Amino acid sequence: MFRQGSLASKSFARSFGAQRRLASTKTIREALEEVIPVKQAQLKQLKAEHGQAVLGDVKVEQVLGGMRGLKAMLWDASVLDPLEGIRFHGKSIPECQKTLPAAPGGKEIIAESMLWLLLTGKVPTEAEVRQLSAQLAEKGELPAHIEKLIDSLPKDLHPMTQLGMGVAALNQESVFAAAYEKGIKKTEYWTYALEDSINLIARLPALAARIFRNVYNPGAAIPGINKELDLVGNYVNMLGYGGNHDLTEYLRLYISIHGDHEGGNASAHTAHLVGSTLADPYLAYSAALYALAGPLHGLANQEVLRWQLNMRKELGDNITHEHIKEFLWKTLKSGQVVPGYGHGVLRNPDPRFMALQEFCDTRPELLADPVIQLVKKTYDVAPGVLTEHGKTKNPYPNVDAASGCVLYHYGLTQFKYYTVIFGVSRALGCVTQLVWARALGLPLERPKSLSIDAIEKLIKS
């Protein structure tokens, strides 16, 4: 713990000591104080004993192809295997579903459980999760100046642009930035990064819900934060869907398994890069959100739904596998890709897609939905067509092949908003790794770039 009266000690008392709790229940900060020294020692030993070990050769095609497959970044919370998919601190999605606590009355993982696992590497107790939920609810209200900013924006400004602006403007509240300006030890950086990160995650639902209200339902009242609900429960409530238990459960699952997907994806890498300059978590994550806003990243699920609805419009309701096969070939021959299929790393069906499919399989009303049926039929046909087409390394579905279609079923039909939900989710992984980057003292990221002439010269030599 920190010395009595220090800025860090006061910050801790203000932000992490306010909740009443059982003596045997750790706060997330206390859990981190136990695991950080162990990880610091592991990293120090790795540098000392294996600093010169070679992890792989760099090929010209990797330099020219977006650094695909280049092992050049530390991201400790999750590892993405091409065949088995994502693991969070070694745990697969099914293992997380079995071990991580759900909300009272629910069955699905909640964001607080995944946040705890990503930060500490440990499975939290139910009491620890409830305590974290209470802490996030306590911090979840937006500052008045952020509400004023969001309310002043044009209603036709893309929701992702608004989300990034809101997160960046929260930087005015940054305890890391304020402490850094006053002067703090490097060993204390992580404590302020943690406080900012918890505050950011807590406020994202209110920020995202306000954007939804302003763009799609102007003038509607936004319910206040219910201190008895978990993060996603409050988010769904503020969106205006609080009575829909199935949608709440779906978004709990979606946001949890979408929270982290190793560090190489564009949004996570952007957060890491900007954070490496010692920008506070608000600035780092606002940059990540604008990476997520690109059509090759976070916009994909809305593109899938649009494509599926166009297929249904063209082919009608009685769609057979043969009809889908013809539509797939039509899409490919027009020079377009099949949205929701393929992945930069995966070479098997995305376990996140499978988890969402299993969610649908347990609910007759989802199985009866024509759009969900179309998703399942497309999965039956598309891998074979894409394999025959021969221009993809992975003919299998990724998570986007299903995620937006389920939102559509539950009445969230505003396509442009889907990436905002993704943005609320991806914060779980990005900001937790910002905390760890400060705890481990990771340096400014600065890869070496090469010109075409320089590459040709290296090859010849």
Q: Give the catalytic positions in this structure.
A: 297, 343, 400
Beta bridge partners of 341: 397
Alpha carbon distance 159, 345 (integer Å): 28
Instruction: Rounding to the nearest 10 degrees, give the CA dihedral for residues 125, 128, 134, 137.
Output: -80
Cβ partners under 8 Å of residue 383, min gap 6: 341, 395, 396
Cβ partners under 8 Å of residue 296, min gap 6: 266
Contact criterion met (CB below 8 Å) for 249 and 233: no
Structure tokens at 246: 């199935």
Q: Which long-range contacts (CB under 8 A, 24 or more apart) does 125-130 make?
A: 125/25, 125/101, 126/101, 127/21, 127/22, 127/24, 127/25, 128/25, 128/26, 128/27, 128/28, 128/31, 129/101
Residue 87, φ and ψ in degrees, nearest 5: -130, 135
Structure tokens at 158: 């893309």
Alpha carbon distance 168, 152 (integer Å): 16
Contact criterion met (CB below 8 Å) for 205 and 137: no
Alpha carbon distance 321, 324 (integer Å): 5
Contact criterion met (CB below 8 Å) for 163 and 205: no
Of 354, 334, 336, which Cα lies nearest the Cα of 97?
354
Cβ partners under 8 Å of residue 428, min gap 6: 111, 114, 115, 118, 201, 255, 256, 259, 260
